[in-house]
Structure 1
């Protein structure tokens, strides 16, 4: 009933923008206390005066500590939308807070909420809501179906994990059994050791017995000699005795002679008999003793022989048992390795599934952000096309918060309230204590009252003073904006004065400073580190500042000319130049200099001939370290990169380096002193990352002109050559490498056209250009690299011969089912198909051979090189040059393979040009360096041994 007694106020439809906002600001305190942003936010978003980013900022900003502050900040955001924001706010109050609407406007709530707004009709709003709800329901159904699929996938993975756990339990049991068998084998080995020790003792005893027997034999031999000597002496004595008897018989009387002889003979016989009996008895005793000892030694020998046979049988049994245990342990270990590989594959599949889910969610969020940005751009374009208020002057231009202001607007005093510009939320406690005016309120204040013009001017002056310290005092990711001083030259000021007198100011607005609040980088980009974007007049920028550094260290500001625009805005030495933005031929260009060389940075800065935006990152410590390095060493810049030379250049004056095609150079300075359009580089050691002979070489652009000239000369020589004339084969002079990347220099420069996204032309224009140098990166492959022999026909002949040598092996082809073949093909694990059905060479087959520590001989073609490179496998590529004479040496080998000499020559001519397209170097074998197949294989082994020690240089993908 109270609402019916209220007098009818002025119709909001008939009120202007300033009147509407005066009406709202007069009741700002009441609105801030009674209105909840979460209730009116859906309608304001449907009315297209607030975006999803604004809603998140209002409801989740930590600096807005209570509901009144959030409501006040929402009113400030609506103020930037002009009359549409005011009308949408009143409509939302009429829907959700009719009493407050009556108190603010003095009118009764209408039954049709959008009758006054003129934005969206009631029927259109309902239809829009229905479409939105339908779309959300579809998204919800898709999300539920995706969740069901993911849950099924998780259930499958859990089942696989359970199976893997069971297999792991079995593997643990097998490990326990393996440990038990190992302990048993160790016990058996200890017993074998004991038996070996006993056997050694028996051998020692047997050897001692043999030695004793030899000693006894020697003693027996000595005794036999003594007996022989005694018998000889006995015969001598008997002979002397006979002689004496004869003498005595001659001297004795004849009657006594027979008797004396008989007596003497009897005495001699008796004595000899006694002595012989004694000696025989002693010899018999000794002989008996020796026989007993001999029999005892024979028995001991027989026992030792029997023990030896028993021990040999036991050793054989233990050896068999040991081999069996080793085989079992090998089988168990192989099974364990297979289980570990299956487990790793399961983990990898799980990680891939999780990564795919995360990637899908990230892509979905990105698409949502792009949709919001497109909607904002569409709304801003519609708002720009909408007619201005009747109270605004006809020559006044509406300025968006992202576009630069004209110089005319800055000098004109404030006849009316200026439009607010969007900025990030700032801590309310950081407001200056100097703002003592009770009416001076803003976004940063806690008082929910409208800001006065004095407060706005005072806040602009405070931000002007603090702009030079923005990078040092704030965190790099605090906000997306920087506040810059108004730096202009005398011509701009003069143009401003002329504009105040009524003259045109269009020319001055193009060269004026950027707006008070400008965005330093796109919304969706976050540059690491503290980056400050400074906008100033960059006419003759290289005369205002000097730079040092390069692609390895970064490009730094070295000196700043005093009194220049760069010095006025606060640019100081030690800051790294991240990127530069400028306008050229009515196009906004952006060049990223974070990883560029010194030459490219000098070129990019030299292109600036007007107003520019320079993004800087403070890195004083790195800058001082660079200066210290430049002073203490021979290095004169911060450049360092490796290139592959695609042409041959002779040596020249002033230290010009002679290079050949496919040489690797280490470029250390792209702006050497006293050498125009040149680089300073060095040859690189083929096996170590060391610099050899150094000198200057033409830079990229001069080398490109020389390359084009060399190609023209080669073409002219080819045309002028007489037909049928045979020219001797020379060293390769050029290597044709082209790229389709966009940009002036396909190596480093990143030039982007910021206006392309606004115009809708997002398709980059590609240009095919010849490259005299290509960037390469070093790789250090494992001990044994795979071997690829070309031409393919000759490689098939030599592969089996080379694989038959020690240290080389062919990979085994795998037979795959159609489903496995499709899965492997999708993962790029299939290198090449075999002649047999469902049989192919896979990446796992090559890795299996490489794990054995031997060279894998690849029976494949050139197409497998890039697939192997993606798996970090770098094969040794050997091309065997062919002529008609050298091919005749292999006629018999080719005929066995069903090939002919003509086919070999055709294959060689077709595959040789493709070698220049490879992203890595190859080795060429001259056709006159071998005489038969044996010498060719020997030469190949030498080449493989030399190539194995070299560093592998790989080019990036140029398309």
Structure 2
């Protein structure tokens, strides 16, 4: 009844392929939930829209875990069959799922499903239905057998359940007993804990008593020592007193001795009397004795303090000596590095000087050749003009002195040798000269010697002997070649220039632009050159492809033109001041500024702005004074696209580049971004509004090319000053003890990264100011000016996305040899094995620069690039048992390893003592290797990950942490710097 209530839908014959599949896709969820593929597949195979392979894939594919997924996959396979697949599906639904068919199509099921599709004949359908019914009966019988087996299985499972319930009751009783025993055990453990605490308190009191006893013993020892010292001093004093007494007795005259002896004998008696008679004197003496004893005790205490201070000073002295030794080793290493770099710079400078000398010689030779060519052409033209004048005079003289009827005798003359007629008259025996192929003087052309043919004939007749046909042919070819060469030279000189009106007086010191093919045409402008080779004006446009070179008065150039853009889009002329020199010569908005040339301090300078930032372009244009030469390229479409982005606030400028920060900058006012050393920044504006020495930049997500927190950072030149100031502060900071310095260096993050570059390897972050080479320029000064070194607060980086597992390089090298095999034993890692090569193979691989490092095992045993690639193709990480030298070789092959540096301290080295001893290494070697390789990490063109020495406790935890780091580093973007040297 439900099917009768459904309104009649559109006839399926009238529906196209897309409409049928749109109808099925609208009810895809309903079909996936209500249809079993195994029921529909026999009909679909009968309709030849599914094959046996498709049936196996739908039924037995492990990825299709439930019925809905198998039904959806079947629909996808039918979709590839087009209209036949859709019709066969609907017919199968009409046969096996009529209700679902009505819900999908809105039509009642028909008794003849093939009447609208034509896929299956009616007889074939009957046969198919018979087979289907037979199959279903077999399935029903099998289902009944399966039900009987399941009932038997159910009875056995019920008996098992009863047994399990009995076992569960027993287990419950045992569990309650276990809980009771556990509570009793907890109470006993609590009492044991109390006893342990009491024992610990007693032990602490006992330890305190022992320490107190030790302190009392030490105090008693000090007092006994002081008493001994006082007794020694007292004995010494008594000895000195006795000596002085004997000396005084010897020095006293014999006459005075008896009275003195009597006085000495009487002193004890008097002292006894005084003591008896004066008790106050006795108290005073006792008080003096007590004060003397106190003063001695105080002096002994001072002496002990001084000894402790002496020991402390001795300890500090020893620490300073150790620090001095470390610094001396560093000084020696830096000295060796400095010497190596000096030698390298010397070699590079010598090569640059040789190249400059060769270039100067080539320029000089080119100038001389061009000057000679121009001089020869000019002399040739002058001689031709003189020849034409002489010929005109000859013709005029012949016309005056010879009548018209005697003109045929002129055929016997050689105009190039006037004395030939005299020789003929004096030697009648000689045959008469005849010009066989010369021009007939009776022709009408001979009456017009100024004509072009007459001039040509006069040029051809230069020999006394009559020329033959071959000679005439060669002369005609030579004359034609000369004329064509002259025409070509003239055309090549003229087609490079389009003259503009002169806007002012010419500057004689302004250098002329070279032609488009690189030749210097300054030497052509000589007084001997013909008029058409001389330049009457210097303000000209040279056409070179799509680039225009315009010369004009560029004083205060930024007031004449305004520019927009940057390194990503190019620097374009945005506005031109009306009435200015730039407007007069035809500069218009939409032209990209490719290059600017001008003269400063009698030197011709050239700056390329094709890929410069907006900040660099404005600085370069601000340096122009006097005549300048702009190279422009019309790019109106790109300029309009940039204006549209600027107006819609999609971007603020045309700048976009990524840099690696080589210093730490704290956060400041006005939205200054806080950055740390080795951070990656995306610079999007080098001239933000309101600031002149800042850039607008954003921090970059480590795993995706997304901008995070944004703000302003110091521009390149201000950051360079901050970097120099930071280095000065670090150099002149107060010296501390070795122990404190080491602990501070371990906890403190890296503040700066020293990166320098020479001018011969141009830094892309500043404008290239190239000096045009002249004859008066000293090659030594030029080389000295270009060999300077500059500290770089930012370095340009480019992102790379490694598609497969990256190799792993563990540092320091001594520790890497210990951990490489352990790490390679884990799943997903494999150690790079060396290869044994023949001499020819090694030479070929060495020529291709594919040897990463030579092995110590043998002469022809080495680690190659193919070995690393072979492991990477397996989809696993290749563990590199190599040093830092292999990083740049891998980068040249577009392979970017994961570099992990494990920081070391004396405490962490002790944890690996046993592992190092197995490798024949010691703790001192590990610490020395760590100290020597850590400074080299900053010279790498890529980032590395550093592991703190206190972040792991043993080798197992270190390996676990390394796996986590490798997994994190694999997801990150690899930022690579260009080679600066």
TM-score normalised by L of structure 2: 0.48
TM-score normalised by L of structure 1: 0.49
